[in-house]
Amino acid sequence: MFNLLLKISGVYRLYTKYLSNQIGKAEAPKHIGIILDGNRRWAESHSYARSVGHRYGAEKVEKLLEWCHEFNIKTLTLYVLSIENLKRSPEEVKELLDLMEEKLQDLFQDELIHKHQIRIKALGKLDLLPDSIRKLLIKIEKATEDYDEHFLNIAIAYGGRLEIVDGVKSIVKKVRRGEIDPSDITPKIIEEHLYTSHLPHPEPDLIIRTSGEERLSGFLLWQSAYSEFVFIDTYWPEFRKIDLMRTIRTYQRRKRRFGS
């Protein structure tokens, strides 16, 4: 059995090297968005408690950050909690929020965030979150607001339609104050009032969804107009480095026409 495991690990390393050589020959996506889906189904498939799936999924994010840095992905946007997720049972919502607070605290204390100059920003209706999480997110954003080497966006209590509604409301207020003339409203003006307005490259080049589902579920509806989509069957806790590499390779093989 041990020899078989060694053989399998050796094959995995060779395949990883092969993929690395392939994706290294073409331009990597500047901005990747990932819908982290399948934690509960993964736990169920292994006869684990639901909370175990959420924890394994959260720990996988830590690995993902390492891989994205290795492949020089400048911007990463993670869909970790939707508005609809907050409508789940009170017990599950509490499990989720307690875990997120724990992982956000770890993130705040992570020296690599400062070493790699990663600006972190929360995208969503933060007023729907507990005070402790909201205050922690504000602390993290404040501590990293001057960084511009890499960007990590956490879509939490997020809804794509509500993001657009919030942007429109902000524009309407400026119109009423005489700061914007209605005839001057353009797609660029709208983009400047979305949650992603701080990013140098707000539109994801590539959006990945795990678990086999093939829909956006409201994720970055405006920004994803010309994104490339890759849907994979793997549940999020099982997501591997080679899965990321293969999605990057798929992206690189596509010809992006942007509607032309």
Cα torsion 64, 67, 71, 75 to 10°: value is 30
User: Does residue 139 fall inside a structural domain?
Assistant: yes
SS3 of 153, please?
A: strand
The Cα 243–Cα 249 span in angstroms is: 10
The Cα 169–Cα 174 span in angstroms is: 9
Q: Domain of 73: which CATH number? A: 3.40.1180.10
User: Does residue 195 fall inside a structural domain?
Assistant: no
The Cα 244–Cα 55 span in angstroms is: 20
User: Does residue 46 fall inside a structural domain?
Assistant: yes
User: Does residue 4 fall inside a structural domain?
Assistant: no
Question: For residue 102, which of 66, 132, 138, 145 has the smallest C-alpha distance?
Answer: 132
User: Does residue 216 fall inside a structural domain?
Assistant: yes
Marked catalytic residue, from 3, 72, 85, 181:
85
From first to last of its 260 residues, what are the pLDDT tens digits of the chain?
A: 444 444 556 788 888 888 988 998 889 999 999 999 999 999 999 999 999 999 999 999 999 999 999 999 999 999 999 999 999 999 999 999 999 999 999 999 999 999 999 999 999 999 999 999 999 999 999 999 999 999 999 999 999 999 999 999 999 999 999 999 999 999 999 999 999 999 999 999 999 999 999 999 999 999 999 999 999 999 999 999 999 999 999 999 998 877 76
Quick one: how many helices (H) and strands (E) in the chain? 9, 6
Domain span including residue 151: 31-159+201-250
User: Does residue 37 fall inside a structural domain?
Assistant: yes
User: Does residue 101 fall inside a structural domain?
Assistant: yes
Is 37 labeled as catalytic in the residue annotation? yes
For the entire predicted model, the pTM comes to 0.93
The Cα 208–Cα 50 span in angstroms is: 23
For the chain, how many structural domains are there in total? 1
47 burial (CB, 10 Å; 0-12 / 13-18 / 19+) is exposed
User: Does residue 1 fall inside a structural domain?
Assistant: no
Marked catalytic residue, from 37, 39, 153, 205:
37
